[in-house]
Amino acid sequence: MKPIFIILLITFSIATLTAFILRSRKLGKRSLYLGGKPTIKKKKIKPKVSKATIMGPENPLWVKIYAEEMAKRKTAQTSAVIKKWLREG
């Protein structure tokens, strides 16, 4: 039983390799891709944001954090700064 199984395995592997070689000659570089060659998606480039914008009054999250921190320390100065920003913006 074992010799028959080994002969069948060798025959099948030779047939598979032959089919792969013939297919690769016929299709060229696309032989490895069954559904066609996959396309590579380009990464979206994010616009660069300057440090001044991130750490300044233009960033609402930064304003919120700054207001909370300054409210804990100096309430009069905090309200003056916020009023100034509201007048400017």
Whole-number average pLDDT of the chain: 76
Q: pTM for the complete prediction?
A: 0.31
Distances, alpha carbon 79 to alpha carbons 59, 84, 89, in Å: 18, 9, 15
- Overall domain count for the chain: 2
Domain membership flag for residue 78: yes
pLDDT band at 9 (very low <50, low <70, confident <90, very high): very high
Domain membership flag for residue 44: no
Domain membership flag for residue 34: no
Can you give the residue range of the structural domain that contains 16?
Answer: 1-28
Residues 10-48 pLDDT 10s:
999 999 888 877 776 666 655 555 666 667 778 888 878
What pLDDT score was predicted for residue 38? 64
Using alpha carbons, select from 15, 20, 89 the residue that is nearest to residue 59. Answer: 89
Looking at the structure, tell me whether residues 22 and 54 fall in a common domain. Answer: no
- Half-sphere exposure (Cβ direction) of 54: Cα atoms closer than 13 Å: 5
Domain membership flag for residue 75: yes
pLDDT band at 66 (very low <50, low <70, confident <90, very high): confident
Domain membership flag for residue 21: yes
What pLDDT score was predicted for residue 7? 93
